Structure 1
Amino acid sequence: MENFNAWIGKKEISGDFVSSRPVEMMQALLNQEDKNLTVLPHLYHWFYFLPIVDGQELAEDGHPKKGSFLPPIPFPKRMWAGGRLHFISPIHINQNIRRESEILKVELKHGKSGDMYFVTVKHSIYAEDKLAITEEHDIVYREASNQVQTQASTQVSTVKTDDSRNYTYKKQFPIDTVSLFRYSAITFNGHRIHYDRPYATQIEGYPGLIVHGPLLATLLLHTFKKENPNKEVSSFEFRAVNPVFDFNDFYICGDIQQENGELWIEKEDGLVAMKAKISFKEE
């Protein structure tokens, strides 16, 4: 396998402006009446610093071609595997923001489903030159498969919810193909596994369209804030362990303690799709 260690330490700086439009669009997707917010909700910074490239610069999967900032890993299947975030100060609408990025790790791992590369990128996000968020973003690259897989064979993990786990809340949020398309539009995400069913099933071998990992993570924090409006989130880490497809029903769950909690996405069959930890303080 090719060694991509030369990419470790590579840096990139991006600038953007926190316009209200993507915030309003996401609030509409979440069926929120309050669309005129003044402070950026947690994880909404993902709607900025988006790579804007010409169509001819896109790979077959709809993503920008690799090799500019991210290493040119030959595996075609790429997904958001997880992340670790610290929220230091708020970002306000109509502020200038800057993101300083650095590749921390490029690791080859051997799993039951084949070889995988994990790339970890650290982002430091500043609002008007004040540090607001630090984030470590994990990206996974997997080998190709042009055979349609069963739902079971696509699962990275078969972790089921512990029967003894406490549910502070267990909520549902309807996700359909329109929701997936709208989220892709907000994030300018051309990855075809989220909207192109023939590509997702026939080329990448999935049984259906995949619900975006960042969308599931956003639902975890969005639901936590709705249930705990007086708690201010200070850190959040999440890991995708099982894909959610557009035909899956799932629950947004939380076990909330005094200063921290566990959050997770639970599919109707009890399989955990995303695991998260959160820490907070009273406002």
Structure 2
Amino acid sequence: MDIDIDHLRGWIGREEVHAEPLTGALVGRFNATFDRTSSLDDGAEAPPMIHLCLGQPTAPTTELGPDGHPARGGFLPPVPLPRRMWAAGALEFHAPLRIGETVRRRSVIEDVVLKEGRSGPLCFVTVTHHVESGNRRALTERQDIVYRMAQATAPGTPSAPPAPEGRSRRSVAATPTLLFRYSALTFNGHRIHYDRSYTRDEEGYPGLVVHGPMQATMLLQLAQEVRGTPPARFDFRSLSPLFDTHDFTLNAEEEADALRLWTARDAGPVAMEARARW
């Protein structure tokens, strides 16, 4: 496939802005999804990572692509590769979001890079989100989105060794209900998270795919639980997919200046790795 990378790099510097009030009702749905509790009153601090549920694209159903994502073009470059996933991210937290405030996100395309992977061409799009809450700088987030070719079998790391068990460890039941709830929270129409026949027949996966952002959210929650306070910086990277065919674990291990975290299914390789710093 010929990919005009110079054309795609013309999207570098493009911006879009979304704003949405952060309500106690949304916090309640977020907490219910993750089996957590917190104040729902105006002025209270909202849970970290809830910004991923705000200001999401609202393309009409008729403008969605076959995978359930909005059709290519517009803010994101029209990469011709058919499969899109969130590969990695980095967050710096400056101040908490607060219930009752309007959260504003300014998104900027920072880079578009074409690489060659084991399965063919890979196109990486880097987006930086600048998030404000009530006109205060709240967080800065970098997202690395990867586009790849369709293939008969799903990508993974079958030769990777089984993940170790962390000193702090939690088990998560990867149910279709959990995946559906998180898709609904984030208004995410990507069919790999809820449409089993599409996921199996079109993308080559054995089951529904566990969201990368949801794994990242759970790992940050574990970091907050271990240290007693949310981190100031959180970096993560997806290494292999998780599916609803197996439960998975959240793991944490202390390091000299950070907390190392990862997800994995039983006897499986590391799926997502992360580091939290305070």
TM over 0.5: yes
Kindly tell me: are residues 144 and 167 of structure 1, through their superposed partners in 2, closer, same or farther at Cα, counting changes over 3 Å?
Answer: closer
* Cross-structure match for 1:272: 270
Of 51, 68, 72, which aligns to 1:66?
A: 72
Of 129, 133, 136, which aligns to 1:123?
A: 129
Q: Tell me how far apart the structure 2 counterparts of residues 13 and 34 of structure 1 sit (CA, whole Å).
A: 28
* Cross-structure match for 1:160: 161
- Asked if 1:29 corresponds to 2:56, the answer is no
Kindly tell me: are residues 62 and 219 of structure 1, through their superposed partners in 2, closer, same or farther at Cα, counting changes over 3 Å?
Answer: same
* Cross-structure match for 1:2: 4
* Cross-structure match for 2:249: 251
Amino acid at match of 1:32: R
The 5-angstrom pairing of residues 93-242 of structure 1 reads 93-145=99-151, 147=152, 149=153, 154-156=155-157, 158-160=159-161, 167-229=166-228, 231-242=229-240
> SS of the residue aligned with 1:41?
coil
Kindly tell me: are residues 158 and 93 of structure 1, through their superposed partners in 2, closer, same or farther at Cα, counting changes over 3 Å?
Answer: farther
* Cross-structure match for 1:87: 93
Residue pair 1:180, 1:211 contacting (<8 A) in 2 also: yes
Alpha-carbon shift at residue 197 of structure 1 (Å): 0.7
Alpha-carbon shift at residue 97 of structure 1 (Å): 1.7
Amino acid at match of 1:220: L
Alpha-carbon shift at residue 174 of structure 1 (Å): 1.4
CA RMSD in angstroms comes to 1.7
> SS of the residue aligned with 1:59?
coil
Q: Tell me how far apart the structure 1 counterparts of residues 53 and 150 of structure 2 sit (CA, whole Å).
A: 28
Alpha-carbon shift at residue 161 of structure 1 (Å): 5.3
Q: Tell me how far apart the structure 1 counterparts of residues 38 and 10 of structure 2 sit (CA, whole Å).
A: 46
What is the TM-score with the length of structure 2 in the denominator? 0.92
Residue pair 2:157, 2:269 contacting (<8 A) in 1 also: no
Q: Tell me how far apart the structure 2 counterparts of residues 52 and 67 of structure 1 sit (CA, whole Å).
A: 14
Q: Tell me how far apart the structure 1 counterparts of residues 161 and 169 of structure 2 sit (CA, whole Å).
A: 15
Amino acid at match of 1:204: E
Amino acid at match of 1:111: G
Kindly tell me: are residues 244 and 5 of structure 1, through their superposed partners in 2, closer, same or farther at Cα, counting changes over 3 Å?
Answer: same
Q: Tell me how far apart the structure 2 counterparts of residues 25 and 158 of structure 1 sit (CA, whole Å).
A: 39
Q: Deviations over 1:168-202 (max 9, x none)?
A: 30111212011111111111111000010110111
Q: Deviations over 1:50-72 (max 9, x none)?
A: 11121111111111112010000
Amino acid at match of 1:45: H
Amino acid at match of 1:235: R
Q: Tell me how far apart the structure 2 counterparts of residues 232 and 62 of structure 1 sit (CA, whole Å).
A: 33
Q: Tell me how far apart the structure 2 counterparts of residues 258 and 95 of structure 1 sit (CA, whole Å).
A: 37
> SS of the residue aligned with 1:91?
coil
Q: Tell me how far apart the structure 2 counterparts of residues 71 and 46 of structure 1 sit (CA, whole Å).
A: 21
Amino acid at match of 2:59: V
Amino acid at match of 1:194: H
Alpha-carbon shift at residue 32 of structure 1 (Å): 2.1
Q: Tell me how far apart the structure 1 counterparts of residues 249 and 63 of structure 2 sit (CA, whole Å).
A: 37
> SS of the residue aligned with 2:59?
coil
Alpha-carbon shift at residue 35 of structure 1 (Å): 5.9
Q: Tell me how far apart the structure 1 counterparts of residues 187 and 230 of structure 2 sit (CA, whole Å).
A: 29
Q: Tell me how far apart the structure 1 counterparts of residues 244 and 186 of structure 2 sit (CA, whole Å).
A: 18
Residue pair 1:158, 1:242 contacting (<8 A) in 2 also: no
Kindly tell me: are residues 33 and 14 of structure 1, through their superposed partners in 2, closer, same or farther at Cα, counting changes over 3 Å?
Answer: closer
Amino acid at match of 2:18: S
